[in-house]
Amino acid sequence: MLVFKTVRELQQFLSTVASNSIGFVPTMGALHQGHLSLIEKSQQQNELTVCSVFVNPTQFNNKEDLLNYPRNISADIQFLACFDCDNEEKRVVLFLPSENEIYPNKIEKNYDFGNLSLVMEAQHRPGHFNGVAMVIERFFDIVQPTKAYFGEKDFQQLAVVRNLVKQLNLSVQIIGCPIVREANNLAMSSRNERLTPEQKEQAANIYKFLQHAKQHAKTLTVEEVKNNFVDSIKNIPTLQLEYFEIADGNTLLSINNWSETNYCVAFVAVFVGNVRLIDNVTLHKD
């Protein structure tokens, strides 16, 4: 598999391959089955896939979280090697830039995503989406992808990226890919690596309670569904709820009545020990 560490090398390579379509899969490494689904989708839809591994410092509002973020580049390279990376019809190359390559001028940009940068993740991780937007704008500029792939686990991030593309009038098509879950239904995340087996079992309750919420959507009120979810999490002492929201899947504005939207999504952030996990489930989409 080809690995590029500088913008110049990558762009030189991209200018020599006669590829009609470039798929881009941005990651922060610690690759897992969720990333695999993004790369496979990109391989199906493009002749060339650029996968990046870059732990983006600007999107971490918490230094500790940045320090603890799992990094294992040799495992990531081994993981990517399973993808038939050098097959010319569905080639995958790795972009592994340093911080200097991505932020040579160290100039901070400021974005306004309206409500998307005020609620849920944005409220609890100030500056997070600004950092995501900075790195994604930079990556899109470097790679000039036809399509870019993002997991729906980071639902709000996906909405922010779509908004960024619209604001900047970019031609890249953003493809959202379904959440991939572990055998116990815990949403796949690089952060899961930091959970003990017991914590993983406890974290499986997050999805179980989201499913309860889905079952009772429309038969109970929004408030009752929310209260039930909060109470269920409280009964598991190792889980600390940060937020649980029921919101419109397009605007991410929280709702009080089911009739306010025909696309309704439940969003949750939970700490298991010091590991922060997020998940979401569509309650209804008519």
Question: How far is Cα 210 from Cα 239, in angstroms, rounded to an integer?
Answer: 14
Active site residues: 35
Residue 127 or residue 238: which is nearer to ligand PAF going by CB? 127
Q: Which of 23, 26, 97, 249 binds ligand PAF (CB under 6 A)?
A: 26
Interface with ligand PAF includes 137 (CB under 6 A)? no
Q: Which residues, 32 to 61, sit near ligand PAF by CB under 6 A?
A: 56, 59
Question: How far is Cα 268 from Cα 259, in angstroms, rounded to an integer?
Answer: 21
Residue 141: in which H helix or E strand, if any? helix 128-143
Q: Which residues, 139 to 158, sit near ligand PAF by CB under 6 A?
A: 154, 157
Where are the strands (E) in the chain, listed by range? Answer: 3-4, 22-27, 48-53, 91-95, 147-151, 173-177, 239-248, 263-272, 275-285
Residue 222 or residue 277: which is nearer to ligand PAF going by CB? 277
Question: How far is Cα 48 from Cα 88, in angstroms, rounded to an integer?
Answer: 8
Interface with ligand PAF includes 117 (CB under 6 A)? no
Residue 54 or residue 244: which is nearer to ligand PAF going by CB? 54
Q: Kindly state the number of chain residues that form the binding site for ligand PAF, as judged by CB under 6 A.
A: 9
Q: To the nearest whole angstrom, how small is the minimum distance from the Cβ of residue 153 to ligand PAF?
A: 8
Q: To the nearest whole angstrom, how small is the minimum distance from the Cβ of residue 249 to ligand PAF?
A: 19
Q: 24 and 165 in contact (C-beta within 8 Å)?
A: no
Q: Tell me the CA distances in angstroms from 216 to 49, 81, 137, 250, 282, one per residue in order.
A: 41, 44, 40, 21, 13
CA 142 and chain centroid, separation: 20
Q: Which residues, 57 to 86, sit near ligand PAF by CB under 6 A?
A: 59
Residue 35 or residue 91: which is nearer to ligand PAF going by CB? 35
Q: Which residues bind ligand PAF (CB under 6 A)?
A: 26-28, 56, 59, 132, 135, 154, 157
